């Protein structure tokens, strides 16, 4: 069943986070992920607001988790860790 990778992000170092974004996109695509929302307009109704929100669709929860754990994504993530505050989850869809 397909899954959504949902990230809520506050960027604290734009230059370093740019390197993350440069590397993360290809890693996500390599694991079957495609972006369906990336930093667009949003309305925060509950919880902590983060100015950048990203949603990627993967073929399955396992594919999304495999992507996260892959060497390529972990290399990208090494640039984001000190350059952002983030929450990331993977949610299986009902379709």
Residue 10 per-residue DSSP state: E
Residue 48 per-residue DSSP state: -
Q: Which residue has the tokens 């949902």?
A: 6
Torsion of CA 51, 57, 60, 66, to 10 degrees: -60
Whole-number Å distance between alpha carbons of 32 and 12: 29
Per-residue model confidence (pLDDT) at position 95: 78
Total domains, the chain:
1
Rounded mean pLDDT, 23-50: 95
Q: Is 56 helix (H, G, I), strand (E, B) or coil?
A: strand
Output the domain CATH number for residue 29: 3.30.70.100
Per-residue model confidence (pLDDT) at position 39: 86
Residues 54-89 pLDDT 10s:
999 999 999 999 999 999 999 999 999 999 999 999
Name residue 89's beta-bridge partners. 6
Mean pLDDT of the chain: 96
Whole-number Å distance between alpha carbons of 12 and 3: 28
Domain that holds residue 81: 3-92
């Amino acid at each position: 069943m397909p899954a959504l990778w949902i990230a809520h992000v506050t960027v604290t170092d734009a230059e370093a986070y740019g390197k993350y974004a440069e590397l993360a996109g290809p890693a996500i695509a390599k694991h079957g992920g495609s972006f369906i929302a990336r930093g667009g307009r949003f309305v925060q109704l509950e919880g902590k607001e983060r100015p950048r929100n990203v949603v990627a669709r993967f073929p399955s929860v396992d594919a999304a988790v495999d992507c996260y754990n892959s060497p390529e994504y972990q290399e990208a993530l090494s640039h984001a860790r000190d350059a952002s505050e983030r929450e990331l989850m993977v949610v299986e869809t009902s379709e």
